């Protein structure tokens, strides 16, 4: 469970790297995690969980590997860390890539319609 990050952990935690990591370390961490978490490399019964995991890892990677996005993220992260944790939601900085729909796919029963029309 290399990147079993909780929803409030930072993107650095998701990739398991220090805040000071350089570009090459970010890429190396992403590849290392992809080799263990990508749905193509996990057992059949873990594909869905691993897809969620990989989406988080890729989201972290795409923010941190872009110098401009990373700078913005670092500034926001710094601001949040200075505030008392209890009074402020850090959801905008969480590693959860999904907005409201994760509620649908996670906690609520969905009706799944498949079709054979294209046959």
Partner 1 sequence: MAEPAYTVASDTETTGEEKTSSPFPEIAIGIDIGTSQCSIAFWNGSEVELIKNTRNQKVMRSYVTFKDEVPAGGVSTQLSHEHEMLSGAAIFNMKRLIGRVDTDPVVHASKSLPFLVQTVDIGVRPFIAALVNNAWRSTTPEEVLAIFLVELRAMAETQLKRPIRNVVLTIPVSFSRFQLTRIERACAMAGLHVLRLMPEPTAVALLYAQQQQQSVHENLGSGSEKIAVIFNMGAGYCDVTVSATAGGVSQIKALSGSAIGGEDLLQNMMRHLMPNSESLFSSYGMNEIKSMALLRVATQDAIHKLSSETSVQINVDLGNGLKVSKNVTREEFEEVNQKVFEKCGSLITQCLHDAKVEIEDLNDVILVGGCSYIPKVRNLVQSTCKKVELYEGINPLEAAVSGAALEGAVTSGINDPFGNLDLLTIQVTPLGIGIRANGNNFVPIIPRNTTMPARKDLVFTTVRDNQSEALIIVYEGEGEKVEENHLLGYFKITGIPPSPKGVPEINVCMDIDASSVLRVLVGVIMPGNPHPVIPVMEVRLPTVDDGHGWCAEALNRAYGSTLDLETVQPKKM
Chain residues in the site for partner 1 (CB under 8 A): 24, 27-28, 31-32, 34-35, 38-41, 47-48, 51, 54-55, 58, 62, 92, 97-101, 103-105, 108-119
| Closest CB to partner 1 among residues 12, 37 | 37
CA trace torsion 53, 56, 60, 65 (10° rounding): 80
Residue number, 46 or 78, with CB nearest to partner 1: 46
Are 57 and 64 spatial neighbours (Cβ–Cβ below 8 Å)?
no
Minimum CB–partner distance for residue 66 and partner 1 (Å):
8
The least CB distance from residue 86 to partner 1, in Å, is: 22
Closest distance between partner 1 and the C-beta of residue 108, in Å?
6
User: How far is Cα 57 from Cα 60, in angstroms, rounded to an integer?
Assistant: 5
Query: Closest distance between partner 1 and the C-beta of residue 97, in Å?
Result: 7
Question: Given the structure tokens 């009706």, which residue do they identify?
Answer: 111
CA-based nearest residue to 15, from 25, 42, 74, 78: 25
CB-CB contact of 70 with 60 (8 Å): no
């Amino acid at each position: 469970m290399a990147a079993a990050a909780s929803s409030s952990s930072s993107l650095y935690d998701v990739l398991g790297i220090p805040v000071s990591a350089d570009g090459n370390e970010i890429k190396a961490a992403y590849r290392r995690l992809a080799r263990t978490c990508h749905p193509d490399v996990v057992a059949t019964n873990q594909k869905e969980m691993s897809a969620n995991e990989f989406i988080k890892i890729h989201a972290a990677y795409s923010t941190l590997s872009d110098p401009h996005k990373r700078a913005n993220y670092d500034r926001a992260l710094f601001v949040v860390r200075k505030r008392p944790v209890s009074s402020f939601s850090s959801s905008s900085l969480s590693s959860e890539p999904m907005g409201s729909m994760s509620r649908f796919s996670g906690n609520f029963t969905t009706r799944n319609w498949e079709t054979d029309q294209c046959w």
